[in-house]
Amino acid sequence: MVPTARPAGARSAPTRALRAALLAWFDREGRALDFRSGGSPEPWAVLVSEVMAQQTQVGRVDAKWRAFMGRFPTPASLASAPTGDVIRAWRGLGYNRRAIDLQRAARAIVEAGGGVPGDVTTLEALPGIGPYTARAVAAIAFGRPVGAVDVNVRRVLGRLLGTGAGPVSPRELQAAADALVDPARTADWTHAVMDLGATICRRVRPACAECPLRAWCAFASGAVPTASAEPRRPAPEARRPVPFAATTRWLRGRIVERLCSAPPGTSVAFHGPLGVHPPAAVSAALAALAVEGLVELDGVDAARLAGERA
């Protein structure tokens, strides 16, 4: 029998057989995506793809990543671009603040010498880069044996390592994620665990019979119930749903969309309401977007909006 080891309290273990099973499955079934380049992935390309993938479906990222990289192939090219052009290139991905943060990260990278850093701590110090993205870039682009834990990976590991006493702690989960990484194929391992969570180890109706890790999985064996493998969130209080068009998110999206549709460098006037939102709500949204760096107000409008908010 192959010796095994595990973090304290965990049921499963990082074995050669487990790694081989998952990577063999990934070689057969892994999703073919443009931003998963073979060989040695270019760090800037990986960073862009991982920021795009935050809160966005992979299919949408795949369609936008190549065009964005064609426009901004280096940190320097993004750092020096007009912010309006960056937001236009980001159009369709949603959460435009990520585009602003990515440009700020590019500027920080340029100021530090121009190369994307390879260690997790320095990556996490960049604007908009959290623990998951930092570890994904470190593992995929630099071969660091660190586990990138997003919601899908957390579900896979929670079920794999779950105990009857309840879910593993975040510290234990991260330690297990790091220990499981195949040091010889860090990029493929990172993609493989993500793909497994997205396609097989789903939140609802997981396809356990098709899972390459079922022999090691506490959840698949029935050793732990669903609740301990993935804790359920408390049910929200019943409340009347708000139509999307009445939300601030809709309003902000329409403002940015109108600006992106205008010729570059053109100022757009916002008079009157937008949809069901009155002029005061439009003004407040413009002021908030300006603070976040998503829009620029001319001097008169900036002073007027500052007065309205005072």
- The CATH number given to 16-31+147-229 is 1.10.1670.10
**pLDDT given for residue 283 in this prediction:** 75
- pTM across the whole model: 0.75
Q: What is the pLDDT of residues 280-291, one digit of tens each?
A: 777 787 777 777
Does the pLDDT value for residue 187 go beyond 80? yes
- Regarding predicted confidence, which is higher, 71 or 14? 71
Q: What is the pLDDT of residues 30-64, one digit of tens each?
A: 988 878 865 568 999 999 999 999 888 887 888 89
- Measured between alpha carbons, how far is 267 from 249 in angstroms, rounded to an integer? 22
Catalytic residue chosen out of the listed positions 50, 237, 257, 308: 50
Q: Delimit the domains of the chain by residue range.
A: 16-31+147-229, 43-142, 244-309
- Residue 50 is among the residues annotated as catalytic for this protein: yes
Picking from 231, 296, 220, the residue whose alpha carbon sits closest to that of residue 18 is 220
Band (pLDDT 50/70/90 cuts) for residue 101 is: very high
**pLDDT given for residue 22 in this prediction:** 97
Among 14-23, 149-158, 167-176, 251-260, name the one with the lowest average pLDDT.
Answer: 251-260
Tally of helices (H runs) and strands (E runs) in the chain: 15, 0
- Measured between alpha carbons, how far is 275 from 272 in angstroms, rounded to an integer? 10
Classify 43-142 by CATH class.
mainly alpha
